[in-house]
Amino acid sequence: MNAQGQDWDDLRLFLAVARAGSLSGAARALGVTHSTVFRRIGAFEERLGVRLFDRLQGGYDLTAAGEEMRESVLRIEEEIAALALKVTGQDQRPTGTIRITATDFLAQALLPAHVAAFRAERPGIEIEAIVSDTVLDLTRREADIALRIGNPGQEALVGRRIGQLAFAVYAARGRAGDPGTGDWVGYGASHGPLSRAMARWWPGMRQVYRTNSITAAQAAARAGIGMAALPCVLADRDPGLVRLCPLPEPFALDLWLLTHEDLRHTARIRMFLDFMGTAVQAEADLLEGRRPLGQVPAVD
C-alpha cells in the first residue's frame, strides 16, 4: 500500500467502520452517504484481496485480518495527528480557521456574541463551531478548542476554568408552580450530576416531559409543559421564561476552555483563548445567576 491520498482516505474509512461497527455510523462520522461507505469499503477489500469485515445482521465485525489492520492504521493515525499538531503549533500568523466544539446550549448562549466581538478585532480568523454533546478528541484534531462543562483531565490537553454555570428553576411566564408538586421538564438519566441532585431535592417530582438537551428543555418550559432546572446564562436571557426560585442547595458546573498542548502557542489559538477567557469571566454575574428574580437582561 502506498502513501497516496486515496489510500489514506480508504484507511480513514476503514477506521470509521471499525469504530462505529456499522455503515450508517461511519457515514455519519465522515459526513458521507451510507451508499458511499458501502461502495468504497467493498472496493477497498477487493483491491487488497482480503475481507476486513464480517457482514452480520447486527453490523460489521472485524475479521482477523481486519483486527490486524486496525492496529497498524491506529498507529498511522496517531503519527499523522501528532505531525499535524506540531506543524500547526508553529503557525504564528493571526489568520486561518479555528474549529471549536461546544454543546448546543453553550453554542447558543455563549459563543455567538463573543465570536462576533473577536472577529471584529481579528477579521482574518474564521470560526467553525462543531455543536455536539459528544466529547470530541482534540488529540486527533477533531477540533482545535473545546468549550466544555467539566475538565476531562486528558494528559495532552491544557486550559483553564473560565467560570461556573449556576442553575435555577424556571417556568413560562404566567405558569408558576410548586417545585414539589408541579409538572417538570426533566433530563431522565442524562446530565447525571444535575439529575441526581434534582431527584434528591424533589423525590416525588413529576417529570411529564424528558429530554437529553438543555435547549430542548428550555423550549419545553417556555411552551408551558412544566418547570425546568436551567442554566441562568441561558434562561435569564429568555423573555418567555421567569425564574421561579433558586435550587435548594448551591449547584454549579465548571466551565472550561481547552486545547491541545501542541496548539496553545499557535497565534490564532492563543488569541482566541485569551479573548474568550476574559470575555466570559466578565459575564460572571450572568453565569453564576446573580440576577433579581424575574429580571430579563437584554440579549447582546
Query: What does the pLDDT look like over 116-150, one tens digit per residue?
Result: 999 999 999 999 998 887 777 776 778 889 888 87
Class of domain 93-300 (CATH, top level): alpha beta
Helix, strand, coil % (nearest 5) of the chain?
40, 25, 35
Q: What is the pLDDT of residue 52?
A: 92
Architecture in CATH of 5-89: Orthogonal Bundle (1.10)
The 10s digit of each residue's pLDDT in 159-209 is 888 889 999 999 998 887 788 888 999 987 777 888 889 989 998 889 999
- Let me know if the fold of 5-89 is the same as that of 93-300: no
Give the predicted TM-score (pTM) of the model: 0.64
Mean pLDDT over 32-42 rounds to: 89
3-state DSSP assignment of residue 101:
strand
User: Cα-atom radius of gyration of the chain, to the nearest Å?
Assistant: 23
Whole-number mean pLDDT of the chain? 84
The 10s digit of each residue's pLDDT in 65-123 is 999 898 888 888 777 777 766 665 556 677 889 999 898 889 988 899 999 999 999 99
Q: What is the pLDDT of residue 92?
A: 65
Amino acid sitting at position 289: G
Domains of the chain, residue spans: 5-89, 93-300
